[in-house]
A = this chain, B = another copy of it.
Amino acid sequence: MTPSLEQLPDEQAQAARFQQARDARNAATAQDYVELISDLIATTGEARSVDVAKRLGVSHATVVKTVNRLQKEGLINTKPYRGLFLTDVGENLATESRHRHQVVTNLLIALGVDEETAQADAEGIEHHISAQTLATFESYLQGHRS
């Protein structure tokens, strides 16, 4: 059993941790969208908002609204009735996000989590992995090549 905390962390340090978690949470949507759009284009040739909606499990109206925001933020381009495209910035974010997603998934599997659970948990965990933790995961996987 895990014992109760003996001492609280420093107040400012703790606030900074919570802030980092909130920032990561807020960045998660953009990461999921660009990663998914990139994957759809790579495998099917195009990314229609209908398909994005189905794969995210949200309504198409939600996708349209979010895509509009991400377009204003410079991650996505749209050609009306011709699907979604990524800007260079969006494509870079997608590449980075997909890599991190894959590393997290592989680490969970390497530790013994089964495939589908790993996939599901990684979908949320990935957004909270710092550069240092990512590097640590990568070198662990490096040393445990099957």
Flag if A16 contacts B120 (CB, 8 Å).
Answer: yes
Flag if B130 contacts A128 (CB, 8 Å).
Answer: no
Q: Any chain B CB within 8 A of the CB of A40?
A: yes
Flag if B13 contacts A124 (CB, 8 Å).
Answer: no
Q: Within 8 Å CB of A7, what residues of B?
A: 43
Q: Any chain B CB within 8 A of the CB of A99?
A: yes
**Copies of the protein in its oligomer:** 2
Known A128-B128, A132-B113, A140-B112; contact A18-B32, beta-carbon cutoff 8 A: yes
Min CB–CB distance A5 → chain B (angstroms): 5
Flag if B133 contacts A128 (CB, 8 Å).
Answer: no
Flag if A2 contacts B128 (CB, 8 Å).
Answer: no
Known A24-B124, A25-B124, A32-B18; contact A140-B111, beta-carbon cutoff 8 A: yes
Flag if B39 contacts A5 (CB, 8 Å).
Answer: yes
Q: Within 8 Å CB of A58, what residues of B?
A: 18
Contact sample, A vs B, 7 pairs, CB 8 Å cutoff: A7-B43, A14-B55, A15-B57, A18-B57, A19-B57, A21-B28, A25-B28
Considering only residues 54-111 of chain A, those with a C-beta below 8 Å from chain B are 54-58, 98-99, 102-103, 108, 111
Q: Within 8 Å CB of A20, what residues of B?
A: 120-121, 123-124
Closest to A138 in B: B2
Known A32-B18, A108-B133; contact A8-B128, beta-carbon cutoff 8 A: no
